[in-house]
Structure 1
């Protein structure tokens, strides 16, 4: 039984546009003309590759000879005295912490090359985000400052110290204000250093400023319960989750932790018991969270408050004054049905909102109080400390600067000249400040206006600690000496305040010895060494209290209604929603090429932000995909290309912040446009929605560097899914299992006496986050190719996350022949993610066509690549039905055209020496991290024991926060992968081709009811 539901990857595939049809006639992008190669351009290609080689005077023999030459990785410097802990060829792992999560840092010959999650970490339990995986690359970024700067020129630390201390002494004597502006700090030692600095300079004040703010939630909890905290949410304790524009799987608060929690009630173990939680999402733009929801309802930003008021009315059986229904009848009906489901799950329900409006969050608190969520799904007694920004305090600081009251300001991990909504006025006012110091590692937008830039060290070069949730303390330790002449900001503050403790390491030791090690019953040097092996200490959690909401909500409702009126579009306007990209975040990571080239989970766009718009809205205003529009609001305008996004609420556009940097570095500069000035400051917080004027510019259409529709499965079905009710009734029905056809093999089966390496991927657990993509890039030396080569369909990722749309059908399959009102249905689509990598087929079609045996099958079930045999015929890629092979058009690591992305003497230090860097003219693809397999087998052999299940983990598997990927030996019937592949949901992609793939997928299940699928 095969599903007849239609899946499609993008608008162009759905509509079979001429461009899509023409592109899919060709397996590869045409080669680059020789004249463009010699000129250094190389964007569009017409000359066949064979002619290109002839033009350069190369025959096949010369290419083969060149292919045998190894690319130098980095300059070797022999050890005069070998460090005791380093053995050449063997990796060392060190515990550390990144943004409060305990991690493991893999080093080779003294250089960090890979980040892994600490299996015992409170947040990820070994899983990580794409940002964590990419953070190691920043260490070797040649755009980082090499030395401190004074008045724009390089200086020495002694001169900087003398100048700053002299200035501070004069300011202290004059009694003028000193301000330390930082993003949220949860490090107990850093906060203590700042407190000591303020003691030395009593006019100083510390201000927490977050470009992406959560002040609304913190202040709402202060107003509601007298606790100014960011709650710790427990999605794993919720049977019903309702979210209003909170992208908790993509970018909201603690998304890696929330992803793990969310899947605890939705993936393998829960489904084995034939149950799963239920998730309803209301949002304007299609987010990674909305795409994973069981039910998703498009909702304008101006109607979010109305919907929350309606939900409260339905739950409380009251009517708040001024209440209005949302304009869409289906959404209004959905709210009524959602209220019934929430009431039936009291104590096991959770309602969240991504709004930064205090009144909106107060009403969310009232709803959760009605549902008995406090003490179960919401914990105010063990709060999150990840964000502590106070918007009103920062705005008052900006006013102080404008009035000329501040004589010194220190910026620590804060860049308000770029990301403050009133940055233009702030920049002008900053000239009045006598001493301006930035600790930025780059000469960023704010640092460029400072007298002094005292570059902070990378976290992998630093000592530190973090406390991201109450009671959980992690240690940061250096894994390499500073690559450049940088110094930790804490060390600078100690020097400038004449602290009696001269070294920050000693300061941390003292703090831990006195306050933190006793939490775990540790003390002294032995306790410190234990900490450096475990990575954290955790105090017993406090009992989560039950909180009752008893405030009058009439004024709250009126504030929400006023806010809704202020953001509602009128006339030809559209409602603009600003959001945080799951990849680039708030913009601090904009100079990381691994993250820039990581496709956006939903749109699959790389290297850009854009104006996402529904097809219906685009038709009304007369624009098409790629058309430039001018967006104007708050006295600010930008030109952005339009991207037609299924699921986008009509009458709205969504734009990501984090782009439009001008001083990020050579990777991040001038990528996209800055959307921060569209923020507004209302009711004490930064607001992310505004009514905007839209005008088509008439400029030439923009071509996005999208990865989604580079190839086609020729209409074959690769996704299997169903509802929970269908799965409970008949598991076989959702995977299309019925009477199969008999298959005939043309050759003998391979014998696998010891190992048969296979993989299982659970589509129910995959959120599409892309952490696995970056982890694979780091582990396997996958090159970055840049925007233009992605446009040419030449991205090199070994694993991709395919995103499929399907029409909502209220539980009924929509046949391909049905007449569908696409304009209406494109506002209500379902999304399914599918990680796709080399399937390591037993009957691999690539192996039979390779003329030089460059790709062969191992006795352990792996499809192998021998790079120096490959002559680049590309027959294997042409014959691969999964389109997972990548052809090297260039020597990416050494070609000057790619220097903005990868090529410099420092970046090559991140390369994994266990994996060959591939050269131009060869094929590459997933190897199932064969280097990890060999290392695990060797370790077991040296220890004279058999290999244990789970001892070998693929890079993609290890990084996944939801355990969507399982790898192991199928010959071991007790292995986790063997059990996973026996699941009733297991199917194999394109199984009908009889290529016998080595990766089994578990079908997607949605918990849908009468609200629709």
Structure 2
């Protein structure tokens, strides 16, 4: 291992700032101020146990009634007469779908408590995103609309139906237009309902729009190949991937699916076959995908078009008119080298771009055509249906409404008053529409402008279906009765259009019986029941065709270059908007699990910010977290600035999805709304702009989690190049010089089970889905921004993010390099734009020589005969000796009774939200230590099932929560006593090493060395 390579969690650790040094003098987070203790500090004993989740506005009577009935509901069933399928204390699982992915929903006593991926799901094979994991909590949100509303007042469904139908009749008689505005609808049955509605009202039109748009790609494919589709990308078929600003492992199109594909060419199986794909990323802000790249090149948004033109020139051997060199000589050289690699991998290459500009995407199409990507890494014949929004149609609707041509509008899962870049235009337009109906489940920004709110069911209360990819159909079934007096949007449309079928369940059944069951070789009632068990049907793929680009690129290239020139406005910085992995487009801003999930790159929670390069911050004389005014496209926004290594100099990045004003108690006024920075150019919404940044002198602290825990300078990350790995698979794993271990006490045998875990750093992308999955499974409380700022977050698993300078300690600074071997030289560096990143999941290591166990005075933490470090919460008196002795800093102290304390009423403390708790896991009270238990409840359930069935426990029969949700399969857990188990094979990998094994704590989790497919020629 190269001792010159220095890893650092954040700039404060690298530069040893006074604040960081001071914090590190204290082993623990800030203690409770004495005045809080004396005054009671909000730790009221008056709050009853059943109100433990009142914090967020998340409600028990309604949910209890809903949970006690059969699904679908025909009559109430008292629990004295138990529903046949419900056994107290035994979980039921229902298949359903979330955004087109097949899922399994775990219910206990009739209430959904956990969402898992369906292992047979076509997209992620059982993996699930953080958003999907957190979606179950939305069901219990107490700020949901509980009854239909007319003009802001509660009313009944009969009154709503009468009013809407009379208004529609008036609109139809007047010949005015009717518009149905939705986010992308890819449900076959919903599409059929809308089509029936339009048949009844011929002046109606359906418009799909997405807050974060992919219209540019769809229109480019229409222009290039006559197919207005979003392609289905196959990253697993690509030997080399080049991305220009597409965060395909995070938020771009289908992150979980692409993660699974991507990792399949970089994990243990691939490496053992001496095969590894190569990934090169060009981008402005440091994205999740950029952190995983083998080579990352920071570029400005204005340089992206120039770079693509140059890449086309280098591959084709021609020169498009207007071509010019990039200002950065290193990037210009990199484009030529990348072109050579792409051509060498022809047929197994893939170039993608995150831009929504049609001309840019046409250029990308031309490049992929030259590389023979169509029919292999890009499939236009089995396209994705995940995004079908048409930006121009939404703009036209607003213009129609402003002209008074629209008589009625219906919003389904759409909130343009928040996420349209000119929200005032939406408000003005809707003033001229007589009937405005929204199916929102919250009184959101658009609902406040509507005269009818017809609240939709949560998806866990609904019947339906989905088709995210051509030929793949998933089914949705309710797992609980409607908690509130809501009604499915499709049912409302059926009633208002006088459809012969008024019940949506029947409508879905009819659609499947007529059209979809046969696609899966199913028929009749037996086929329907089989579908509800399996969750999906899959039609055989159409053979993916090859497509040749034969359009004239001269005008396209000129448009791209002109747009680049306009963006590179002299004296201004270049602004780029992006989606954060947790908050995405902002629809789930009221979900506290997502708000408290640290951003994978910045590790910021509960806020968005202006990310800038450290050199730019230094040049402007800004302090960290200083509030700056960002102005672009006629809009101003005050945001705290964050020094972000890897950010391209001269740029600023801001996440959309924040700044909600009508999301609910949790999401209101968290961060600032960046959607007004968008613009509408050449038929699509653009996410880049020229901007100015001005200092205000104010400070707005951000709550970050990354540097809350210190290893005192010890090395915990090990990595190698693919070239080194091929020569020596054990490179940097430390196996050549294994140290001798000693024991101060007798060892115990583990005759039956020896539970261990393996984590592959090459597979982990750092997405954080495991953090939310763990929170949902183990009843981990949300503490809020202020407590996170005090280093009191409660997550049992964290994803540590480490930076390092490229070239084994050399930092490239505008073509110059500075050797980083002494800390004093760090201060001389001007830029941090060329850094690499490693993500490392860190949780309790369940050490065989656990240092926490030897210091506990009450035996609250002890070792089991199966190798687990256990916590007896009732014994713990909160001395925190164990946390002091833990070198990994993975123990969490309950500073407050988070479930009962009134100070957390805006986070996770409400009578309904308690129903999402897992009854198999104890909820911890104030004053105890808690930590990862390796989901011991799942272990026990698996063992008990095997015992009842009188058989051995099979390998893989159960998975721990973090393992189960990981699309990358980065985490493996199992019985190391079984030599044929997956965990035994993983730990035998030459790449396996143990973090801080030199301390002789004998951790139970083995990590596998990070391998990057780097090229010294390109990296330099």
Give the stretch that moved more between structures: 422-431 or 642-651. Answer: 422-431
Could you tell me how far 1:844 is from its partner in structure 2? 0.3
Say if 2:702 is the partner of 1:697: no
1:424-474 deviation per Cα after TM superposition (whole angstroms, max 9, x unaligned): 122122111101000000000000110000011000000000010000000
Q: Number of paired residues? A: 991
Q: 2:829 and 2:388 mapped to 1: Cα distance?
A: 43
Partner residue of 1:910 out of 911, 916, 919: 916
Structure 1 stretch 803-812 or stretch 688-697: which is displaced more? 803-812
- The residue matched to 1:823 in structure 2 has which SS? coil
Instruction: Quote the residue 2:815 is aligned against.
Output: none
Residues 149-548 of structure 1: pairs in structure 2 closer than 5 A: 149-548=149-548
Aligned to 1:45: none
Report if the CA contact (8 A) 2:15-2:827 is conserved: no
Tell me which residue corresponds to 2:852: 846
CA distance in 1, matches of 2:679, 2:828: 35
Once residues 313 and 36 of structure 1 are traced to their aligned partners in structure 2, the CA distance between those partners, rounded to angstroms, is: 67
Within 5 Å, give how 1:882-921 maps onto structure 2.
882-921=888-927
Distance 2:650 2:554 in 1: 29
TM-superposed CA distance for 1:697, in Å, is: 1.3
Partner of 1:626: 625
User: Is 2:385–2:467's contact at 8 Å kept on the other side of the alignment?
Assistant: yes
- Work out whether 1:99 is the aligned partner of 2:106: no
Residue 327 of structure 1 and its aligned partner are, at CA, apart by 0.9
Match of 1:797 in 2: 795
CA contact (8 A) 1:726 1:734 kept: no
Q: CA deviation at 1:906?
A: 0.6
Q: 1:3, 1:736 within 8 Å by CA — same for their partners in 2?
A: no
Secondary structure at the aligned position of 2:855 is classed as coil
Quote the residue 2:687 is aligned against. 688
Aligned partner of 1:989 in structure 2 is 995
Q: Report the counterpart of residue 565 of structure 1 in structure 2.
A: 565
2:581 equivalent to 1:579 = no
Counterpart in 2 of 1:928?
934
Paired with 1:969 and 1:607, the residues of 2 have a C-alpha distance of: 38
Alpha carbons 1:661, 1:671 under 8 Å: kept: yes
Aligned residues of 1:183 and 1:209 also touching (Cα < 8 A): yes
Q: Is the 8 A contact 2:873 2:924 kept in 1?
A: yes
Q: Is the CA contact (8 Å cut-off) linking 2:52 and 2:914 kept in structure 1?
A: no
Per-residue deviation, 1:822:
5.9
1:817 and 2:822 correspond: yes
Could you say which residue in structure 2 is the equivalent of 1:837? 843
Q: Is the 8 A contact 2:2 2:808 kept in 1?
A: no
Question: Could you tell me how far 1:71 is from its partner in structure 2?
Answer: 9.3
Partner of 1:753: 751
CA distance in 1: counterparts of 2:834 and 2:566, whole angstroms: 27
Distance 1:634 1:856, change over 3 A: same
2:115 corresponding residue in structure 1: 115
Within 2, Cα distance between the matches of 1:105 and 1:570?
54
Task: Return the alpha-carbon distance in structure 2 between the equivalents of residues 731 and 41 of structure 1.
Answer: 56
Match of 2:955 among 949, 966, 971: 949
What do you get for the CA RMSD once the two structures are aligned? 1.8
Shift of 1:37: 6.1
Offset of residue 29 of structure 1 = 2.1
Summarize the alignment of residues 26-105 of structure 1 with structure 2, pairs less than 5 Å apart: 26-36=26-36, 79-105=79-105
- TM-score (ref. length: structure 2): 0.95
Matched residue SS, 1:145? coil
Which runs of 5 or more residues in structure 1 are unaligned?
Answer: 43-52, 57-62
Q: Whole-Å Cα distance in 2 between the matches of residues 9 and 780 of structure 1?
A: 27
Mapped partners of 1:311, 1:187: distance in 2: 39
CA contact (8 A) 2:49 2:900 kept: no
Preserved contact between residue 147 and residue 154 of structure 2 (Cα < 8 Å): yes
Residue 620 of structure 1, CA deviation: 1.8
Q: Distance in 2 between matches of 1:815 and 1:824?
A: 13
Separation (CA, whole Å) in 1 of partners of 2:202 and 2:837 = 55
1:72 to 1:369, Cα distance in 2 relative to 1, 3 A: closer
Counterpart position of 1:858: 864
SS class of match (2:127): coil
Aligned 8 A contact 2:5 2:808 in 1: no
Query: What's the counterpart of residue 769 of structure 1?
Result: 767
Describe the SS at the equivalent of 2:707: coil
> What do residues 212-257 of structure 1 show as CA deviations (whole Å, max 9, x unaligned)?
0000000000000000000000000000000000000010000100
Q: After TM superposition, give the deviation of residue 33 of structure 1 in Å.
A: 2.3
User: Partners of 1:286 and 1:557 in 2: how far apart?
Assistant: 27
Shift of 1:40: 8.7
Give me the whole-angstrom Cα distance separating, in 1, the residues matched to 2:502 and 2:431: 32
**Whole-angstrom distance in 1 between the partners of 2:978 and 2:50:** 38
Q: 1:735 Cα deviation (Å)?
A: 1.7
Shift of 1:404: 1.0
- Residue by residue, what CA displacement relative to the aligned partner does 1:152-198 show, whole Å, maximum 9, x if unpaired? 11111111111101100110111100000000000000000000000
Q: CA deviation at 1:274?
A: 1.7
Higher relative contact order (CA 8 A, sep 6+): 2
> In the aligned structure 2, how far is the partner of 1:193 from the partner of 1:37?
59
Task: Choose 578-587 or 220-229, whichever is displaced more.
Answer: 578-587
**2: CA distance, partners of 1:383 / 1:595:** 30
1:461-507 deviation per Cα after TM superposition (whole angstroms, max 9, x unaligned): 00000010000000000000011111100000001000000100000
SS in 2 for 1:932: helix
- The 1-side partners of 2:29 and 2:503 are apart by 56
Cα offset for 1:41? Answer: 7.4
Q: CA deviation at 1:386?
A: 0.3
Question: Cα distance 1:169–1:293, how it changes in 2: closer, same or farther (>3 A)?
Answer: same
Distance in structure 2 (CA, Å) of the matches to 1:738 and 1:20: 36
> What runs of 5+ residues in structure 2 fail to find an aligned partner?
54-59, 69-77, 812-818
What's the secondary structure of 1:467's corresponding residue?
strand
Aligned CA distance change for structure 1 residues 842 and 382 (closer, same or farther; 3 Å)? same
Deviation at 1:743, TM superposition (A): 2.4
Separation in 2 of the partners of 1:186 and 1:630? 39
Alpha-carbon distance, 1:567 to partner:
1.6
Q: Distance in 2 between matches of 1:592 and 1:798?
A: 19
Contact 2:992 2:1007 in 1 (8 A): yes
Q: Which residue number corresponds to residue 1019 of structure 2?
A: 1012
Alpha-carbon deviations, 1:540-596, whole Å to 9, x = none? Answer: 00000000000000000011011112222322x210000011110100010000000
Question: SS of the residue aligned with 1:686?
Answer: strand
CA contact (8 A) 2:52 2:909 kept: no
Alpha-carbon displacement from aligned partner over 1:864-919 (angstroms, at most 9, x marks no partner): 00000000000000110000000001111111111111111110000000000000
Tell me the equivalent position of 2:646.
647
Does residue 964 (structure 1) correspond to residue 970 (structure 2)? The answer is yes
Q: 1:147 aligns to what?
A: 147
Kept in 2: contact 1:756–1:970 (CA 8 A): yes
Cα distance, 1:777 vs. partner? Answer: 0.3
Cα displacement (A) at 1:731: 2.4
User: In the alignment, which residue of structure 1 is the partner of 2:814?
Assistant: none
3-state SS, counterpart of residue 516 of structure 2: helix
Structure 2 counterpart of 1:47: none
Q: Which moved more, 1:888-897 or 1:741-750?
A: 741-750
Cα distance in 2 between the residues matched to 1:344 and 1:786: 51
Partner residue, 1:59: none
Q: Which moved more, 1:810-819 or 1:658-667?
A: 810-819
- Does residue 741 of the first structure (1) align with residue 746 of the second (2)? no
Structure 2 residue matching 1:351: 3-state secondary structure: strand
**Alpha carbons 2:356, 2:686 under 8 Å: kept:** yes
CA 1:39–1:484 in 2, change beyond 3 Å: closer, same or farther? farther
1:46 aligned partner: none
Question: Aligned equivalents of 2:337 and 2:52: distance in 1?
Answer: 63
Name the SS of the counterpart of 2:741 in structure 1.
Answer: coil
**Post-superposition offset of 1:72:** 7.5
Distance 1:41 1:299, change over 3 A: farther
Distance in 2 (alpha carbons) for counterparts of 1:918 and 1:832: 33
